[in-house]
Amino acid sequence: EGAAHLADALRVNTSLEVLCLEQNNVGPEGCRLLADALQVNTSVKVLQIDQNNIAPEGAAHLARALRVNTSLKDLNLRDNNIGPEGASHLADALRVNTSLEELNLRWNTIGDEGAAHIAGALRTNAWLEKLYLGRNNIGPEGAAHL
């Protein structure tokens, strides 16, 4: 319910630049609502949605927003259980996004498979400047892709 109210406000707000939602139980459905709003919002530059158990489904929703949003510069998804599937969704978005400069994916168990997805996106994305992948169970195979 809280995410729905926040999403409604984001659709019309033109001044908010930083939104921190750390540890708020946003979950996949809350991500869907926020992603819908981010598709039209042009002011939010920083979104911290770490530790919200958004899962791969939530990552898919945010990836949908990243495909069209041109204002978001910094996205923190630390510790959200997105796994390799969520990394794949985000990688697809990174291939077309031209505004995101910083992405934090620490503690998301993306593993070697997720690292390979992200590495593939980095081959075409020339805008991302900072990428945090610590504590993701990335072994030698995943590291080789990066």
Q: Are 88 and 117 in contact (CB under 8 A)?
A: yes
Can you give the pTM of this predicted structure? 0.97
- Tens of pLDDT along 49-94? 999 999 999 999 999 999 999 999 999 999 999 999 999 999 999 9
Q: Which residue has the tokens 């945090």?
A: 132
Amino acid identity of residue 76, one-letter, is N
Per-residue model confidence (pLDDT) at position 1 = 84
- Tens of pLDDT along 4-52? 999 999 999 999 999 999 999 999 999 999 999 999 999 999 999 999 9
Residue 38 CA to residue 145 CA, distance in Å, equals 31
Residue 129 CA to residue 127 CA, distance in Å, equals 6
